Structure 1
Amino acid sequence: MEPSTILSVVVSLLVVVTCWVLLTGKTKENMPPGPPKLPIIGNIHQLDKQTPHRNLRNLARKYGPIMHLQLGQVSTVVISTPKLAQEILKIQDLCFANRPAATTPQIFFYKATSIGWANYGSYLREMKKIATLELFSTLKVKSFSYIRETELTRVFKFLDSCCGTPVNFREMTVELVNNIVSRATLGEVCKDRQYLVDSAFYMLKTFSAFNLFNYYPRLNFLNVITGKKAQWLKRHKELDIILQKLLEEHRSRPCSRADHEDLVDVLLRVKDSGDLEFPITDDNIKAIILEMLTAGTSSSSMTIEWAFCEMMRNPKIMKKAQSEVREVVKGNTITEADIQSMHYMKMVIKETMRLHCVPILLPRLNLKDCVVNGYDIPAKTTVLINAWACATDPNCWEHPDCFIPERFENSSITYSGTNFEFLPFGAGRRMCPGVNFGLATVEYAIANLLLHYDWKLPNDIKPHDIDMREFTRISTLPIHPLQIVPISVSGPN
C-alpha cells in the first residue's frame, strides 16, 4: 500500500474518532445498559421510522427496562415498564419535568411556550392552572356540546348520501375532529380557519419527520444551510400575522354569552383580568392556539379510527358495543347521561387507547444528575417513556397484545395518570390537561356512529384480513386508512 494511501486512511480514522468524541462527549460508567453504539450515529440506525416504539420495546426486552441509547449527540434513556415510568413521572417528577430544546417547537410555539413544550416553572404552572380551571374544565367542555352535535349532523348527511358504498373513514373522522377543535378554539367566524388547520398539519409533519439536526444540536447551523429553517420561519411569520388579526377580531367583538366563549375568548379574558401571578402575552396565547389545533386533532381522530378498526376486526365486540348504545339511547339523540351509561363502549375506548395510544410520551430532560433504578442519569439527559411498552407489559396485562375490552370490567384503572401501565394522557406535572375535551369528542363520535349506522367491510374482505400494521407520526395510524361501508339503520338523520 502506498504511503500516501496509508496516511489518508489514518487521517480519516482520526477525523472520525475526533468527531465521535466531540459530538457525544463523555458518559458516566454507571449508565444504564444498552445496545452497542456505532461511531458518529450511535444507535440512530436502531430507531425504526415506522414503528420506533416496537423496536424500543424489543431492545428493552434484551437490555433491560431502563436502557441507554446514544442518538447522535443526544444521550438518551428509554423507560419501558410501569414501575420505572412511575419513578420518572411521579417519584422524581420534578427532576424530569423539563423538555429538551428542539428547533421546531422553538419556532412554531413562540420560543416553546405552549403547555406541552414549555420548561417547568412559574409560567407553566400558571398555564396549567388556566387550562385546568378555564380551558378544559368539565363545564367548559360541556358548553361545546352544540359544536359536537352540529358537526355530527354534517357527518350524518355525508354518510346518508353514500350509504352502501365504501367511505374513507380516516378522512371523515379527521375532518369531524378538526371542525370540532377549530370551532371550539377559534370561534364560529374565522376567515383563515382552513389555512390555520392546514398549517397545524404542516407543523405535525415537521415535528414527526426525521430531522437529523435534532440528533446533532451542535450542527444546528445546517438547518440554515439546507433552507429548512428559512421555510419554517416564513410559515411562522405568515401564521403570526393571521393569529394577531384573530386576537384583535376577538377583542373588538366581545362574546355576548359566557357559555359560548371559544378558547381564544377565554385566554384573552384571563389575560386581561389582571389576576394572574405570572402575566401572559399575546404570543403565549398564540402558542396555545397552535398547540390545540395540532395535538387536539391528531390524537382524537386516531383513537376513533383505531376503535373502528378493532371493532370491524372483532364483529362480536362491534355487536356488543352497538347493542348497548341502542339499548341506552331513547330516540335519535344521545345525551351526556346516555354516554355515562355506555359502560362497554367506554371499555372499548380504553382498550383502544391501551393498544393505540401516543406510543412515546413527549421527551423529558433532567437539569441535574439523578439516580434511577441504581443507574446514574447525568444532567441534560433526554428521557423517553415508552407508554406503549408499559401498556403491553406482560407482567401487568394478560394477553397484552390482544384487544379485550372486558379486561377493564370492574377495573379501577382510569385516565388520571395514577396507573402507570395505562398512560394515554401521560402523568404527573406534564400530564395532558385536555383529557376531558378529548374524551368528550371521542365518546360522542363513536356512540353516534354506532347508534345510527351498521358497518360492513367492502369487497367481501374478511375481518381477519384488515391490515393492522401501523406507522407513527406523533400518534400511530393504520398503515392504510380504514375503508368501510355505512348502512343507515334510522333513516335520514
Structure 2
Amino acid sequence: MKSKQSHTNRGAMESQLFVPLILAVLYIIYKLLHSKYHQIKNLPPSPPSLPIIGHFHLVLKNPFHISINNLLEKYGPILFLQFGIRPIVVLSSPTAIRECFTKNDTAFANRPHLVMGKHLNYNYTTITFVPYGDLWRNLRRLATLEILSSTPLQVSSNIRKEEVSVVVRGMLIGYNGNFTKVELRSIFCNLIFNMIMRIIGMQPFLREDEMVGQEKAKEKLMDLKSTFCTTGIFGLGDFFPFLKWLDSWRVEKTMIKLFKKRDKFLHAVIDDCRTRRSNSSLDASTATREYRKEEKDNKSIIDVLLSLQETQPEYYTDDIIKGVIQVMLIAGTEASFTTAEWAMSLLLNHPEVLNKARTEIECNVAYD
C-alpha cells in the first residue's frame, strides 16, 4: 500500500515539475524570437504582440482582410506583424509597393519554406513559392509578358465580356425581372472560375442553367471547385516549429491527397491540349496569312506554355506548366470572387455609393 502511495506521489510531483518546465521552454523561445526581431532597426509600426503567437489573435475574430484593414487604418499603410516565427510586412501604399517590388525586388524575392510549398506546389517550383534564381526570373518574365501584359489581357477581354453577359442574361431569365434574394458568392465563383478556365485554354464546363437533370455534370464541377478553391492549408509547424510533431502527419496527408487530385486534372488538361495541337486539321504551312495571325493572337495560356516548352524544355517542364495553371486557377478564382463579393457587400451597406454607381452605369452602358 505504501509503495503504491509513494508511486502516486512521485507521479504527481513529476506532473507538477513538467508544467513549469514546458512554460520555461516556451518563455525561452519567446525571448529568443523577441530579441531577434527587436535587434532589427527601423521596423514598420506594429501593434502589441503576445508571447509565442505574436499577432495571431488580432486576425482571428473577423475575416482576414477585414482584420488587416482595421490594423492598417490604425497603424498606417505599412505594417509589421509576427505570426509565430514568421515576420510579415503588410503594404497598402502604392509608393511602398513600388519601393519594395520595383527598386528592391530581389530583397523580397524569396519565399518561406512552408509545408504546402513542397506538397501542393511541385516542390517549391510554382511562382508563389519558387526561390530567387533562374527559374524565378523565367516565371516572372512569363507572368509579365504572357499573362499580365496589356496584349493578353486585351485578347481575353472578349471572354470576360461573354461570361458576364451569360451570367446577367441567366439572372434576368431565371428571376423573370422580379425582386428576389440572390446568393452572390456562388454566382461570382462560377463566373470567375469559367473566365479563368477559358483564358487558360481549358474546355468549358456546363453552366448552372445547362445542368438541369445532369447531376453528374454538376457534381463534377463542384468537385473541381473544391479541388482548386481550397486554400489556406497550413500546419502548426509552419509557424511554431516546436509544435510540428502535433499535426504534421495529418496536414501532410491532407495535402498529398489534394495534390494528387489537382495533378491528375492538370495532367489531363495538358495532354488534351497537346492532342488538339497535333491533330490540327489545318497545316500551318498552307494556312493563309490572316488565319496564322488570328491563330497567334488567340493563343491560350497553355498553348503559349507548350510552345515555350518546345524551345526551352529544360525550363518549361510539365510540372512547371502545371504549376502555372494551378496558380492561375487558385489565385485568379479565390481572390477575384472574394473581392467581388465584398465589394458588393460594401455597396449594399453604403446606399449613396451604390446609387452613384447605378447612375454612372445607366449613363455609360447601353441597354440591349
Q: Which TM-score band (shorter chain)?
A: 0.7 to 0.9
State the distance in 1 between where 2:77 and 2:140 align: 34
Q: What code does the residue aligned with 2:196 have?
A: V
Q: Mind listing any 5+ residue stretches in structure 2 that lack a counterpart?
A: 1-7, 206-216, 283-294
CA distance in 2, matches of 1:62, 1:134: 37
Q: 1:184 aligns with which of 192, 199, 215?
A: 199
Task: Return the alpha-carbon distance in structure 1 between the equivalents of residues 121 and 88 of structure 2.
Answer: 26
The answer to whether structure 1 residue 271 and structure 2 residue 309 are counterparts is: yes
Question: Would you say the 8 A contact 2:80–2:89 is kept in 1?
Answer: yes
1:34-68 CA-to-partner distances (Å, cap 9, x unmatched) read 63543x54554444253456656549958996656
Q: Deviation of residue 299 (structure 1)?
A: 2.2
Q: Deviations over 1:357-416 (max 9, x none)?
A: xxxxxxxxxxxxxxxxxxxxxxxxxxxxxxxxxxxxxxxxxxxxxxxxxxxxxxxxxxxx
Indicate how the Cα distance of structure 1 residues 88 and 17 shifts in structure 2: closer, same or farther if over 3 A, else same.
farther
C-alpha distance after superposition, 1:94-140 (max 9, x if no partner) = 22321111112321121132222222221111111112212233222
Residues in 2 aligned to 1:85 and 1:108: alpha-carbon distance in whole angstroms: 28
| Amino acid of the structure 1 residue aligned with 2:200 | T
Deviates more, 1:184-193 or 1:96-105: 184-193
Task: Give the secondary-structure state (helix, strand or coil) at the position aligned to 2:229.
Answer: helix
Partner of 1:235: 258
Post-superposition Cα deviations, 1:440-477, rounded to whole Å, max 9, x if no partner, equal xxxxxxxxxxxxxxxxxxxxxxxxxxxxxxxxxxxxxx
Shift of 1:282: 0.6
Q: Larger RCO: Structure 1 or Structure 2 (Cα < 8 Å, ≥ 6 residues apart)?
A: 1
So what's the TM-score if we normalise by structure 1? Answer: 0.56
Note the C-alpha offset of 1:305.
2.6
Residue identity over aligned pairs, in percent, reads 25
The 1:42–1:307 alpha-carbon spacing in structure 2 relative to 1, beyond 3 Å, is: closer
Task: Return 121-130 or 77-86, whichever deviates more.
Answer: 77-86
Q: SS of 1:167's equivalent?
A: coil
**CA distance in structure 2 between the partners assigned to 1:36 and 1:248 by the alignment:** 50
Matches within 5 A, 1:362-377: none
TM-score, scaled relative to structure 2: 0.73
In structure 2, do the counterparts of structure 1 residues 168 and 283 end up closer, same or farther at CA, with 3 Å as the change threshold? same
**Mapping of residues 92-111 of structure 1, within 5 Å:** 92-111=104-123
- Equivalent positions of 1:42-441 (< 5 A) are 42-48=54-60, 50-52=62-64, 58=71, 67=80, 69=82, 71-72=83-84, 74-79=85-90, 82=93, 88-89=100-101, 92-160=104-172, 161-162=174-175, 163-164=177-178, 165-188=180-203, 195-202=223-230, 204-206=231-233, 211-217=235-241, 219-225=243-249, 227-254=250-277, 257-274=295-312, 279-330=315-366, 332=368
Cα RMSD after superposing both structures = 3.6
Please tell me whether the aligned partners of residues 194 and 204 of structure 2 are also in contact (alpha carbons under 8 angstroms): no
CA distance in 2, matches of 1:63, 1:17: 35
CA-to-partner distance for each residue in 1:184-243, whole Å, 9 max, x for gaps? 1142357976644331112x2536xxx423212354444443x33122212212322222
User: Bigger radius of gyration, 1 or 2?
Assistant: 2
Verify the 8 A CA contact 1:66 1:78 in the aligned structure 2.
Answer: yes
Distance 2:354 2:92 in 1: 31
1:201 corresponds to which letter in structure 2? C
Aligned partner letter, 1:21? I
Distance in 2 (CA, whole Å) between partners of 1:290 and 1:185 is: 10
- Distance change >3 Å, CA 113–CA 16, structure 1 → 2: same
Q: Please, which runs of 5 or more residues in structure 1 have no aligned partner? A: 333-493
**Contact 2:109/2:131 (8 A) holds in 1:** yes
Query: Are residues 130 and 80 of structure 1, via their aligned partners in 2, closer, same or farther at CA, if it must alter by over 3 Å?
Result: closer
Deviation for aligned residue 1:80: 6.4
Partners of 2:245 and 2:97 in 1: CA distance: 35
User: Which of 1, 24, 48 lines up with 1:35 in the alignment?
Assistant: 48
Distance 2:153 2:98 in 1: 29
For residue 107 of structure 2, give the secondary structure of its aligned residue in structure 1: coil
Assess if the C-alpha contact under 8 Å between 1:155 and 1:176 holds in 2: yes
Q: Give the C-alpha shift of residue 143 in structure 1.
A: 2.1
How far, CA to CA, are the matches of 1:153 and 1:200 in structure 2?
A: 24
Task: Give the match's secondary structure for 1:76.
Answer: strand
Question: Match of 2:108, SS?
Answer: coil
Between the two proteins, the alignment pairs up a number of residues equal to 321
Partner AA of 2:28 in structure 1: V
- Once residues 359 and 160 of structure 2 are traced to their aligned partners in structure 1, the CA distance between those partners, rounded to angstroms, is 23
The change in CA–CA distance for 1:310 and 1:178 in structure 2 (over 3 A counts) is same
8 Å CA contact 1:66, 1:84 repeated in 2: no
From the superposition, tell whether residues 55 and 169 of structure 1 become closer, same or farther in structure 2 (CA, over 3 Å).
Answer: closer
